[in-house]
C-alpha cells in the first residue's frame, strides 16, 4: 500500500513541477507572427504594404511592437513605430517613402519582463514599374485611337464627303443668334464654370469660336462670362480670333469677355444679375457645371432668352433638360465643334471616334457572349 502512496506522491511532485512548469512556460513561449513586406504594384517605386499576423494566442502574448526603418545612404532611419494589440487579426498597413528604390526594414519585437526583444525581421527594396500593367489596355486603346484619327483625317482631306447627322441643339445656334439680333438683344455665352484642366471647357471654347463668328457676322453684342482665371485668357484669344476670321476685328471689345466672379455661387449671382439687367436674347450654357447650372438656366428662362445648354456633367443634364429649350447631352458637346465648323479635319476625327466606339461596342458584345459561356479573357485583359 505504501508503494502506491509513494508512487502517488512522486507523480504529484512531477505533476506539480510540470504544472509549475506550464505557468512558467509562458516565459519560454516562442513569439510567432507572420511579417510580410510587399512592394506595391504599378506605382512609382515609393509604395509598399506591411502585413503583420500575430500567431500567438492573445492570452499568451498581449502586445507586439513593430519598428519600420528606411536605409538612406547606409544609415537606418526609423520611420514608424507601432504597438500592436494581439486581437488575432491581421494588421495591414499601406506605407510609402519619398524616394523610389529605397531599402526598407521591418522588425517585430515582443515584451518579456520589461525588456523588448526582436524576434523577426524582413527587408525589401521598393521598385517602380516603367509601364502600368493595369492601364496597358488603355494605352493601347489611346494609340489605336490616334492612328484611326490619322487615317480618317487623311481621308477627309482627300475630299471624301463625310456625313454628320443632325444634332437638334446645334442646328438652333444660328437661329438663336438671329432672333437675338432681330430683338436687338445681346447674346450671353458661359463656357462652363470649370478650370482649363476640364476638357469640357476646351470643347466649349471650340464652340465659342463658331458662335463668336456668327455673332460678328450679325453684329450682335456678345458677352462671355468667365469664372476661372486661366479660361479668361483663352476665351479672350478665341473670341478675338472669331471676330478676326469673320472680318470684323473692329467689333471685338476685350471688356465683353470678363471674369464675372471667382467663386461658384458668386459667379451664379453675378451672372443672374447681368442676365436680368441686360436681358440677353440667347444664352449659351456649354461646358462643365455643378449645382449652379439650374440657377443660370432658370434665370435665363425668366428673361425670355432662348437657352442652348450642353454639359458632360451627368448630374446636371436633367436640370438642363427641364429648364432649357435645347440641351446637348454628354458626347454631343464634344461633337459640336466638328458639326459647326464642318472642317474636314474635325469631321475626320468625328468619324474616327464613331468607328472606335463601334469597335468597342463589338468587343463588349463579344465579351458578353463569351462571359455567358464562362470565358472572361476580354473582361479581364481589355475591359478592366
Partner 1 sequence: MNLKKISEFLLNFKKKYIYLVMFVLISTPLILKVTQETYETKEVKSIYQRVEEIYQHNKENPEDKLALFISVDFAPSTKAECDPMMNAMLRHAFLRDIPVLGWAGVPQGIDYGLERFNTIAKEYNKKYGEDYIYLGYAYPFLQAALAFGTDVRIFASTDYYGKDTYDNYPIMEKFNNYNQLGLFTSITGTSLAEGWIQYANGLFNQDVAAGVTAVNASRLYPFLQSGQLVGMMGGLKGAAEYEQMVERLEKKEIKKDIKNYLSGLYKNYEAPEENPRKYDTSYTKTELLKSVNSRKMARQGMAAQKIAHFYVIALIIIANIGYLLKKRYESRR
Partner 2 sequence: MGLLAWTTIGVILTIAIFSFLIKDNPLYKFAEHLFVGVSVGYLLVVTFTQLFIPRVYQPTKNAFNSGDVFMSIWMIVGIIIGILFLTRLTEKHNWLSRYPISITVGFYSGFAIMPSLYTRVLRQLGATVSEDGVSMINFQKIGLFFKNPSWANLYEATYGPLIVIGVLTVLIYFFFSFKNTNPVIKYTRKPAMVYMMVGFGAAFGYTFMARISLYVDRMNFIINEWWPLVRVNLF
Partner 3 sequence: MKRKYPMILTFIFGMIGLFLKASPILNEKFVDYLLLWTAAISSFAVIYSTFNVVKHHVLKIQRKHRDMMYSYVTFVGILLMGVTGFVGHYLPQSNWKLLYDNLYQFVRTPLDATMFSLLAFYISSAAYRAFRAREWQATMLLIAGFIVMLGRVATGPLMIFADITNWIMLVPTTAVMRAIMIGVGLGITSTSIKIILGIETSYLGGGK
Binding residues for partner 1 (CB under 8 A):
81-85, 87, 89, 91-94, 302
Size of the site for partner 2 (CB under 8 A): 71
Q: Strand pairing of 187-190 and 282-286?
A: parallel
Minimal distance in Å, beta carbon 369 to partner 3?
A: 19
Decide which of partner 2, partner 1, partner 3, none touches 171; Cβ closer than 5 to 8 Å per partner kind: none
Q: What is the DSSP string of 306-319?
A: EEEEEES-TTTHHH
Q: What share of the chain is helix, strand, coil (3-state, %, to 5)?
A: 50, 25, 30
Q: Which of 317, 324, 340, 346 binds partner 2 (CB under 8 A)?
A: 317
Of 11, 42, 63, 219, the one binding partner 3 (CB under 8 A) is 42
Q: Which of residues 307-366 bind partner 3 (CB under 8 A)?
A: 312, 314, 317, 319, 321-323, 329-331, 333-335, 337, 345-346, 349-350, 352-353, 356-357
Closer residue to partner 2 in complex, CB, 247/263: 263
- Cell numbers found for residue 313: 456633367
Q: Which of residues 262-291 bind partner 3 (CB under 8 A)?
A: 262-266, 268-269, 277, 291
Spatial separation of the C-alpha atoms in residues 254 and 119, rounded to whole Å: 73
Least CB distance to partner 3 at residue 352 (A): 7
Give the residue, chosen from 294, 359, 379, 382, that forms a contact with partner 3 under the rule CB under 8 A: 294
384 contact choice in partner 3, partner 1, partner 2, none (CB below 5 to 8 Å, kind-dependent): partner 2
225 part of the interface to partner 3, by CB under 8 A = no
Strand ranges, E, within 55-178: 63-72, 75-85, 91-96, 103-112, 115-125
Closest CA to 31 of 59, 54, 51: 54
Which residue spans within 152-305 are E strands per DSSP?
187-190, 222-226, 257-259, 282-286
x/- letters, 235..254, toward partner 3 (CB under 8 A):
-xxx-xxxxxx---x-----
Using CB distances below 5 to 8 A depending on partner kind, what does residue 241 bind out of partner 3, partner 1, partner 2, none? partner 3
Closer CB to partner 1, 86 or 204, in the complex: 86
Task: Tell me which of partner 3, partner 2, partner 1, none is bound by residue 206, counting a contact when its beta carbon lies within the kind-specific cut-off of 5 to 8 angstroms.
Answer: partner 3
Closest CB to partner 1 among 88 and 233? 88
Cα–Cα distances (Å) from 253 to 57, 178, 228, 257, 370, in that order, read: 79, 20, 20, 8, 60
Asked if 284 and 308 count as a contact pair (C-beta separation under 8 A), the reply is yes
Give min distance, CB of 61 to partner 3, in A.
39
Q: How far is the CB of 20 from partner 3 (least distance, A)?
A: 59
Figure out which of the listed residues 35, 95, 173, 203 binds partner 3, where binding follows CB under 8 A.
Answer: 203
Q: Examine residue 260 and tell whether it contacts partner 2 (CB under 8 A).
A: yes
CB of 240 to partner 1, least distance (A): 37
Site for partner 2 in 147-186 (CB under 8 A): 162-165, 167
Cell reading at 106 = 521591418
For residue 359, state whether it binds partner 2 (rule: CB under 8 A): no
Between 177 and 200, whose beta carbon lies closer to partner 3?
200
**Alpha-carbon distances, residue 154 vs 49, 88, 147, 358 (angstroms):** 50, 65, 11, 20
Provide the 8-state DSSP code for 198. S
Chain positions 67 to 126 lying near partner 2, rule: CB under 8 A, are none
202 lies in the site for partner 3, by CB under 8 A: yes
Going across the sheet that includes 326-329, the strands are 257-259, 222-226, 187-190, 282-286, 306-311, 326-329
Q: Which is nearer to partner 2, 84 or 335 (CB)?
A: 335
Longest dimension (CA), the chain: 129
Q: How far apart are CA 311 and CA 334, in angstroms?
A: 9
CA atoms of 154 and 292, how far apart (whole Å)? 42
Angle at 68 between CA 64 and CA 73, to 5 degrees: 155
Task: Give which of partner 3, partner 1, partner 2, none residue 128 binds (C-beta under 5 to 8 Å, depending on kind).
Answer: partner 3
Amino acid at each position: 500500500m505504501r508503494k502506491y502512496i509513494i508512487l502517488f506522491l512522486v507523480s504529484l511532485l512531477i505533476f506539480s513541477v510540470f504544472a509549475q512548469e506550464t505557468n512558467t512556460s509562458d516565459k519560454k513561449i516562442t513569439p510567432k507572427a507572420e511579417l510580410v513586406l510587399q512592394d506595391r504594384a504599378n506605382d512609382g517605386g515609393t509604395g509598399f504594404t506591411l502585413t503583420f499576423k500575430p500567431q500567438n494566442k492573445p492570452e499568451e502574448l498581449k502586445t507586439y511592437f513593430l519598428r519600420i526603418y528606411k536605409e538612406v545612404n547606409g544609415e537606418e532611419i526609423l520611420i514608424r513605430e507601432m504597438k500592436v494589440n494581439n486581437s488575432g487579426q491581421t494588421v495591414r498597413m499601406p506605407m510609402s517613402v519619398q524616394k523610389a528604390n529605397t531599402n526598407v526594414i521591418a522588425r517585430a519585437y515582443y515584451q518579456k519582463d520589461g525588456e523588448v526583444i526582436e524576434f523577426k525581421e524582413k527587408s525589401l527594396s521598393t521598385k517602380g514599374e516603367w509601364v502600368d500593367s493595369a492601364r496597358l489596355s488603355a494605352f493601347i486603346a489611346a494609340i489605336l485611337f490616334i492612328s484611326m484619327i490619322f487615317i480618317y483625317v487623311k481621308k477627309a482631306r482627300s475630299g471624301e464627303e463625310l456625313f454628320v447627322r443632325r444634332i437638334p441643339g446645334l442646328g438652333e445656334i444660328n437661329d438663336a443668334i438671329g432672333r437675338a439680333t432681330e430683338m436687338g438683344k445681346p447674346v450671353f455665352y458661359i463656357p462652363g464654370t470649370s478650370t482649363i484642366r476640364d476638357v469640357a471647357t476646351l470643347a466649349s471654347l471650340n464652340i465659342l469660336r463658331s458662335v463668336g463668328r456668327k455673332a460678328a457676322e450679325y453684329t450682335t453684342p456678345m458677352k462671355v462670362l468667365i469664372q476661372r482665371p486661366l479660361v479668361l485668357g483663352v476665351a479672350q484669344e478665341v473670341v478675338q480670333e472669331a471676330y478676326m476670321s469673320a472680318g470684323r476685328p473692329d467689333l471685338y471689345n476685350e471688356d465683353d469677355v470678363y471674369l464675372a466672379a471667382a467663386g461658384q455661387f458668386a459667379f451664379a449671382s453675378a451672372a443672374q444679375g447681368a442676365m436680368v439687367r441686360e436681358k440677353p436674347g440667347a444664352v449659351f450654357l456649354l461646358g462643365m457645371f455643378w449645382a449652379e447650372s439650374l440657377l443660370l438656366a432658370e434665370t435665363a428662362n425668366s428673361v425670355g432668352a432662348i437657352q442652348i445648354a450642353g454639359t458632360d456633367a451627368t448630374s446636371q443634364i436633367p436640370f438642363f433638360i427641364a429648364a432649357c429649350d435645347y440641351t446637348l447631352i454628354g458626347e454631343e458637346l464634344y461633337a459640336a465643334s466638328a458639326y459647326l465648323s464642318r472642317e474636314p479635319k474635325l469631321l475626320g476625327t468625328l468619324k474616327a471616334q464613331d468607328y472606335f466606339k463601334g469597335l468597342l461596342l463589338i468587343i463588349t458584345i463579344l465579351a458578353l457572349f463569351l462571359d455567358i459561356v464562362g470565358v472572361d479573357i476580354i473582361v479581364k485583359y481589355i475591359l478592366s
